[in-house]
Structure 1
């Protein structure tokens, strides 16, 4: 039986499949079922920056009304949430309960759009027992008041603030929008973070042409969505100074194998579990081990990154020339 354990951000995982942050990871019952299915780790459903800031404001208002706003009070504010029923309190309880019930790593997630106002919460997450923290920094290039440099500063300032407060490994999940994505990913990997997750998914806008009302586009990914992440994992493997996790479009064993060949340490999955149930994890692992047996691989390190830009025999496959060659021959 091939060995499929992997190292991600310094954490030992029994398999390279991680249940990504979603509605599938928001209760202890779901998390237990995911561990039984064979995932190597879980990323808890994100808590949003807005929720944390709102909780902070309510806590300060409560303390101010009680007449005890003074420096020592801040210790109460940071660590004692027992008296305030709040999504933040529930999130900390989910972390604590998950650590009691699971043997696999528990990764907390904060979805943020700015660099401050929420960062103190990272230490509270660590205190609750999380093995790692994923910062899902969601920036879209649609804000014309912010330059590309302004957007990049948010990443680096958020990382600086959080790393100053926690000792657990921190990863950054980000989108593919940047003026120079390769340079940004390399710079981010040198800040002290332990992992990069490529990429978070932006939901596309759609609307009904008859009612002129906005509608939901496809929420779940398809296997066809894998290629953008696959390309960038392959391009950056060997260049970044941290672990790489692949996200978006990984639905089966073939997708898992491709991402590992490209250089990912792990893959994050959600859509395929929504569509096929948690049993899909066992199917993906079976496909992976069967392929490894056929290829004669005993562990993941023997083929990890074999098809990355820095290791492949055909690096031109990642460049524009390959695009030109494909379309020149299309339809012939």
Structure 2
């Protein structure tokens, strides 16, 4: 039996398959089902910066109103917003209930776009029992005056801010849309990110021609979307200290294995588990074991086997692959 134990951002996992942030982790039963299904860790659904700020503002407003009407009762209010009837309270309560009853790390997820007081929620998540924090930095600058460097600095500031607030490992989930993604990965690594999760998926609205309106939506990923994150994981393998997590385009055992060969420490999926159920995780893990056994490889031997070679110039390596791909296309289609 192949040993699939894996270290991810300092956490010991029983295997490299991780349930990424998604709808299956919104309830205690859902989290228990994922753990029982065989994943190595669970990333909870995201708590959004806007939700935290909105509920904090609402609580503050209630405190102010009560202070005006009943000044003598002010001392009975907490010094910090409690959100006891809102999403924040429910999220923290879910961590408190779930973390002690599952046998895998539970990683809380924060989705934000700017450094601010909301990031202090990370400490409360850890106090509730989270083993780590995943930061999903979702920022789409629409101000045409904002420079690329300002956008990059915002990511670095958020990571550094949260790292100062918690003692557990912190991962950052990124988009690929940087002018120099490799340098951005290095900066986040130097800022203290314990893991880089490649990649998050921006919502891409469509247009309804009958209603003449913009519609938003979110589709589950498919294996074709794995090519870009796999390429970057291959390029970053052993070139950054942070763990590398693959996210997007995982449906089969083959998809998991390809990511591992590229150099991923862990492979995350939501789409496959939504489509096939939590127990499908066990099939994916068993499939990885079978593949390794057939090849007579250990997990450590397979991981990074097809990454960009350590001594290779990454740019030249990518260019050579590009030229080779074009040559194959000519032979295949130019007939």
Distance 2:63 2:132 in 1: 31
| 1:82-114 per-position Cα deviation (integer Å, ceiling 9, x unaligned) | x73110000100111111211100000001011
Q: Which residue of 2 aligns with 1:321?
A: 323
Equivalent in the alignment of 1:95: 95
Contact 1:59/1:77, CA 8 A, preserved across alignment: no
CA offset digits 1:258-283 (Å, max 9, x no partner)? 11111111011011111122232122
Task: State the match for 2:104 in structure 1.
Answer: 104
Q: Any idea what SS the aligned residue of 2:108 has?
A: strand
- Residue in 1 aligned with 2:296? 296
Other-structure match for 1:148 = 148
Could you tell me which runs of 5 or more consecutive residues in structure 1 were left unpaired when the two chains were aligned: none
The Cα offsets for residues 193-234 of structure 1, whole Å up to 9 and x where unpaired, read as 110000001132222334323345561111111111111111
Distance (whole Å) between structure 2 residues aligned to residue 261 and residue 312 of structure 1: 17
1:307 matched to 2:306? The reply is yes
C-alpha distance in 1 between matches for 2:15 and 2:169: 19
CA positional deviation for 1:174:
1.1
Alpha-carbon offset, residue 311 of structure 1: 4.5
Distance change >3 Å, CA 294–CA 143, structure 1 → 2: farther
CA–CA separation in structure 2 for the residues paired with 1:278 and 1:15: 15
1:252–1:280: 8 Å Cα contact kept in structure 2?
no
- Residue 269 of structure 1 corresponds to 269
Q: Following the alignment from structure 1 to structure 2, what is the Cα–Cα distance between the partners of residues 279 and 314?
A: 42
Aligned equivalents of 2:156 and 2:176: distance in 1?
Answer: 16
* Bigger helix fraction: 2
5 Å-filtered alignment, 1:25-174, equals 25-67=25-67, 76-78=78-80, 81=82, 84-140=84-140, 142-174=142-174
Aligned twin of 1:19: 19
Q: Residue in 2 aligned with 1:191?
A: 191
* Match among 324, 329, 332 for residue 330 of structure 1: 332
TM-aligned CA deviation for residue 164 of structure 1? 1.2
* Distance (Å, rounded) in 2 between the aligned partners of 1:28 and 1:167: 25
Distance in 2 between residues matched to 1:88 and 1:276, nearest whole Å: 30
Number of corresponding residues: 325
Task: Classify 1:313/1:254 alpha carbon distance in 2 versus 1 (closer, same or farther; 3 Å).
Answer: farther
* Structure 1 residue ranges (4+ consecutive) displaced by more than 4 angstroms after TM superposition: 311-317
Query: How much has 1:329 moved relative to structure 2?
Result: 2.6
Shift of 1:126: 1.2
Higher mean C-alpha deviation, range 137-146 or range 35-44: 137-146
**278-287 vs 89-98, greater mean Cα deviation:** 278-287
Deviates more, 1:137-146 or 1:232-241: 137-146
CA distance in 2, matches of 1:104, 1:17: 11
Q: Distance in 1 between matches of 2:25 and 2:143?
A: 31
State which drifts further: 190-199 or 272-281: 272-281
Structure 2 residue matching 1:44: 3-state secondary structure:
strand
Structure 1 Cα separation of the partners of residues 206 and 63 of structure 2: 45
SS across alignment from 1:196: strand
> TM-score, structure 1 length as denominator?
0.91
Which SS does the other structure have where 2:176 is aligned?
A: coil
RMSD over equivalenced CA pairs, Å:
2.3
